[in-house]
DNA sequence: TGCTATCCTGAAACCGGTTCCAGCAAGCTC
DNA sequence: GAGCTTGCTGGAACCGGTTTCAGGATAGCA
């Protein structure tokens, strides 16, 4: 049995309250008493029981992080940013991994309670409308990272401007001379409410429009988020009678599927077809993939900083910080081939 | 302020103990009373305070996971396995991310205390000898995943047989006819005490020996674990006067560096040089990389199962479960070129 | 009708801290 | 030397649950 504060008090011949004061560096302890208590603490190898502390303080000293942790490399990178801030703090990081919509709903309902956590950080998961009132009135501060939804204005969040990113990626291709530009993405309506695909799509449409290029519905393909699925979709795209000369993929993982499809079909990248991805995950550099770099780590870091600020009441109105994505030009984009 | 068990008791016109019994499904409550209490719980939207529960039960209902979380893709996969088991349990997962040796030492010292966690799972970090006695006598059950060290016999762990894996990878190359086989790895002595590189090296040596191929020290290169560093090392290897015809890399990440180096030097893979990696991370399939598949997810899952078994006293003697790696032959290995 | 066994209930102690508040001793003022 | 601060200390209440234990109500039985 570990020593308790009572054991220490007895050993040092003082009252409980005094030991507690020493532990909390209260100035209301005389140097000689402090020394005696510290000696007793050392002798008994005493460490305060965090659970008792939490109960007494009425705080959990815990931050809950809800994230679809593993389904995409980008989430892990955001989580790293979150952790980097938390490591310096007194808070523990409790991880709630969401792999199904059911899990998400359960966690959204149960985690943001004062008894569970002092703050909740939600990564890349947009709440459903019916969850909103509860989250907005939550007794616990909440920050969303990478959940861009029009109805979220009452919640604190850090987002990247996916529409602008989609626009830039597309504009890059247009600037190179492409006019047959396909877009390959996730479905817009997913059980997880991911909004990135749709926002990037809006940017894609906007860039086309600005350049006077008509949108061709058959050049937009979507499916579950995986390399294999993207490969299949890209094969369809690249065997169309009127073949796109460039593909903008909504993620690097999907861009890899496009590269595979091109390889399957004997098409050279970038000579025959250009490819742009999104995220700039680690592997993108190796592949020479032109892509949109998101500040993934940074967004997690910033989200956590916001949350800590809220918890310390240093923040009143809902804040929405926008981080910008940045085009990274590598070797998978070039002017389109001459087409008769 | 959230409702407490006392509020519920008052509302239902019963004593505290009865409410507690209802919460814990004790059979010692009459149906009518139970119903009244449940009604009160619903009306007050009451949830029991986990902190108070923990203090009262003398359990933390928490599992601590210490991991060098983000430095390699393989860790994340193991963590997924851990989480998959924990999600079904009543335990929270508290994450301690180790990015420096100092952090590791702090966590090894502070986390395995009864007041902090009911169980500790350590991924891919071998304790230093001086930590061993404390860990072995820890009041809290501990399981190590992927920490293979001769002095760890008194600790529960799940390991993969890295020596055998290294042997198999090398034997595969020998079987193809290679006799000039290089090994590219991390340094054997690292601040984190990773042992995989050295164990795989031992397997490499053993396979060479079994085939009567002398070991050539200049064909073993090592450096920090990164693609860029591996690329540099591989460039050295592949420009030696007597050039190896195959490179066995201690991880897929490093194998990618080797592929880059080959590309830099205009060497074809596998025609001019064969490459074998280790881990079978997701990207390996995309690259067509021949590699050793580790049961990463499975090892995490198994480790967590072991830990839960220990916590329930279903386990007495230290257990060491060995998982086997498995050769996955893809497109980066072939017989060596004819050499004069 | 009286006695016991069974079932259910609630008061109180407990987990291990923090903090309020009363009180004591020493030092200061007049 | 009486009266007041000031500085330090410890008893006790409190956080919100669980669990022990004593006892009351009811049913069963003689």
CA pair distance B80, A306, nearest whole angstrom: 27
List bases in chain D with any atom under 7 Å of a protein Cβ.
Answer: 7-21
At A340, is the pLDDT very low, low, confident or very high (cuts 50, 70, 90)? very low
Q: Check CB contact under 8 Å for A286 and B227.
A: yes
C-alpha dihedral sign at A212, A214, A215, A219:
negative
Q: How many other C-beta atoms are found inside a 10 Å radius of the C-beta of residue B98?
A: 25
pLDDT at B70 over 70: no
Least confident span in A98-102, B94-98, B238-242: A98-102
Comparing C-alpha atoms, which of B248, B252, B272, B243 is closest to residue B337? B272
For residue A293, what are the β-bridge partners? Answer: A279, A326
Distance CA A27, CA A30 (A): 8
CB-CB: which of B54, B79, B93 is closest to A51?
Answer: B54
| SS3 (DSSP) at B182 | strand
Are the beta carbons of B160 and B102 closer than 8 angstroms?
A: no
In angstroms, the separation between the Cα of residue B93 and the nearest Cα of chain A is 6
| Six-digit token string for B183 | 């090994």
**What are the Cα distances from residue B313, in Å, to A219, B107, B119, B307, B317?**
60, 25, 12, 10, 10
CA distances from B324 to A300, B290, B292, B296, B299 (A): 36, 17, 10, 11, 10
The residue in chain A having the minimum alpha-carbon distance to the alpha carbon of residue B47 is A115
* Whole-number distance in Å between B33 CA and C8 C1': 10
Spatial CB neighbours of B274, under 8 Å, sequence gap ≥ 6: B173, B176, B178, B245, B246, B247, B290, B332, B333, B334, B336
Between CA B31 and C1' D28 the distance (Å) reads 22
Distance CA A215, CA B231 (A): 43
For strand C, give the nucleotides within 7 A of a protein CB.
7-21
B91: burial class by Cβ within 10 Å (0-12, 13-18, 19+)?
buried
pLDDT at site B340? 45
Are B50 and A92 a contacting pair at CB < 8 A? no
- Give the residue-averaged pLDDT of A289-313: 94
- Residues in contact with strand C, defined as Cβ under 7 Å from any of its atoms: A 1-2, 4-6, 16-17, 20-21, 23-24, 46, 48-49, 51-53, 55-57; B 13-18, 21, 27-30, 32-33, 52, 55-56, 58
Separation of alpha carbons A5 and A74, rounded Å: 45
What's the pLDDT score for residue B71?
Answer: 63
DSSP output for B105-170: HHHHHHSSSTTT-SEEEEES-PPPGGGHHHHHT-SS-EEEES---GGGTTSEEEEE-HHHHHHHHH
Q: Do A95 and B97 touch (CB under 8 A)?
A: no
Q: Tell me which chain B residue has its CA closest to the CA of residue A66.
A: B93
Note which residues in 154-213 of chain B have CB less than 8 A from chain A: none
Q: Are B42 and B8 in contact (CB under 8 A)?
A: no
- Radius of gyration, alpha carbons of chain B: 26
Q: What is each CA distance from A322 to A158, A200, A304, in whole angstroms?
A: 6, 15, 15
Residues of chain A found within 8 Å of residue B93, distances taken between Cβ atoms: 94-95
Q: What is the mean pLDDT of residues A31-39?
A: 92
Q: What angle do CA A275, A277, A279 make, to 5 degrees?
A: 165
Q: Which residue of B has its CA nearest to A47?
A: B115
CA angle A66, A293, A63 (to 5 degrees): 20
Q: Within 10 Å of residue B226's Cβ, how many Cβ atoms?
A: 16
H/E run at residue B324: none
Interatomic separation, CA of residue B17 and C1' of nucleotide D30, rounded (Å):
36
Give per-residue pLDDT as tens, A103-139: 999 999 999 988 899 999 999 888 888 888 888 888 8
Instruction: Confirm if B162 and B199 have CB atoms less than 8 A apart.
Output: yes
How far is residue A200's CA from residue A182's CA, in Å, rounded to a whole number? 13
Quick check: B179 and B112 in contact, CB under 8 A? no
CA B77 to chain centre: 8
Per-residue pLDDT tens digits for B104-149: 999 999 999 888 999 999 998 888 888 888 888 888 999 999 987 7
Whole-angstrom distance, CA of residue B319 vs CA of residue A45: 30
pLDDT at B303: 96
pLDDT digits (tens, 9 = 90+) for A249-270: 999 999 999 999 999 999 999 9
Spell out which residues of chain B touch residue A76, defining contact as CB-CB under 8 Å. 70, 76
Work out if B223's Cβ lies within 7 angstroms of strand D.
Answer: no
- Model confidence, pTM: 0.91
Query: Virtual CA dihedral for A144, A150, A153, A154, nearest 10 degrees?
Result: -80
pLDDT score at B318:
84
Beta-carbon contacts of residue B9 (< 8 Å; ≥ 6 apart): B15, B16, B18, B19
Residue A56, chain B, CB below 8 Å: the answer is: no
Nearest chain B CA: its distance from A165 CA (Å) = 25
Closest by CA to A93, choosing from B308, B111, B302, is B111
- Check whether A330 has a pLDDT greater than 60: yes
Q: What is the mean pLDDT of chain A?
A: 92
pLDDT digits (tens, 9 = 90+) for A195-220: 889 999 999 999 999 999 999 999 99
Query: Pseudo-torsion of CA B26, B32, B34, B36, nearest 10°?
Result: -160
- On chain B, the residues whose CB falls within 8 A of the CB of A116 are 50
CB B22 within 8 A of CB B69: no
Query: What gap in Å lies between CA A206 and CA B132, rounded to an integer?
Result: 61
pLDDT of residue B267: 97
Contact residues for A253 (Cβ-Cβ < 8 A; gap 6+): A72, A73, A225, A226, A227, A230, A279, A281
State the Cα angle at A79 between B186 and A58, rounded to 5°.
125
- Best of A50, A75, A110, A120 to disrupt the B interface (most B CBs within 10 Å) is A50
Mean pLDDT of B219-232: 95
Cα–Cα distance for residue pair B63/B116, rounded to 1 Å: 9
- Ordered alpha helix ranges (H), chain A: 5-12, 16-23, 31-44, 50-57, 73-86, 101-110, 132-136, 162-175, 196-210, 227-238, 252-264, 282-287, 296-311
Among chain B residues 48 through 87, which have CB within 7 angstroms of nucleic chain D?
48-49, 51-53, 55-57
pLDDT digits (tens, 9 = 90+) for B308-337: 999 987 777 788 999 999 999 999 999 999
Please list every residue in chain A whose beta carbon sits closer than 8 Å to the beta carbon of residue B331.
none
- Of B131 and B243, the structure prediction assigns the larger pLDDT to B243
Q: Which of residues 273 through 332 in chain B touch A, CB cutoff 8 A?
A: 283, 286
């Amino acid at each position: 049995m570990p020593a308790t504060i009572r054991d220490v008090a007895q050993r040092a011949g003082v009252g409980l309250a005094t030991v507690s004061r020493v532990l909390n560096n209260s100035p209301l302890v005389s140097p000689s008493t402090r020394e005696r208590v510290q000696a007793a603490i050392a002798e008994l190898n005493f460490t305060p029981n965090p659970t008792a502390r939490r109960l007494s303080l009425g705080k959990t000293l815990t931050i809950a992080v809800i994230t679809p942790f593993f389904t995409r490399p980008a989430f892990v990178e955001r989580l790293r940013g979150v952790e980097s801030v938390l490591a310096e703090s007194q808070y523990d990081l409790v991880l709630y991994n969401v792999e199904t919509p059911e899990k998400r709903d359960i966690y959204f309902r149960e985690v943001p309670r004062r008894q569970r956590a002092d703050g909740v950080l939600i990564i890349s998961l947009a709440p459903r409308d019916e969850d909103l009132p509860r989250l907005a009135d939550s007794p616990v501060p909440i920050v969303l990272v990478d959940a861009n939804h029009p109805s979220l204005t009452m919640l604190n969040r850090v987002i990247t401007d996916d529409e602008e990113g989609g626009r830039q990626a597309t504009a890059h291709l247009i600037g190179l001379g492409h006019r047959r530009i396909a877009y390959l993405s996730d479905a817009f309506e997913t059980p997880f409410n991911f909004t990135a695909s749709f926002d990037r799509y809006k940017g894609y449409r906007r860039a086309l429009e600005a350049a006077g290029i008509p949108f061709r519905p058959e050049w937009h393909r979507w499916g579950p988020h995986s390399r294999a699925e993207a490969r299949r979709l890209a094969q369809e795209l690249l065997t169309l009678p009127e073949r796109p000369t460039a593909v903008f993929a909504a993620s690097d993982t999907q861009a890899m599927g496009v590269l595979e499809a091109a390889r399957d079909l004997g098409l050279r990248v970038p000579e025959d077809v250009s490819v742009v991805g999104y995220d700039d995950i680690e592997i993108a550099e190796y592949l020479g993939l032109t892509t949109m770099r998101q500040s993934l780590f940074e967004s997690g870091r910033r989200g956590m900083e916001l949350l800590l600020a809220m918890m310390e009441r240093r923040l009143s109105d809902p804040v929405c910080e926008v981080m910008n994505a940045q085009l990274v030009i590598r070797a998978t984009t070039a002017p389109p081939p001459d087409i008769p």
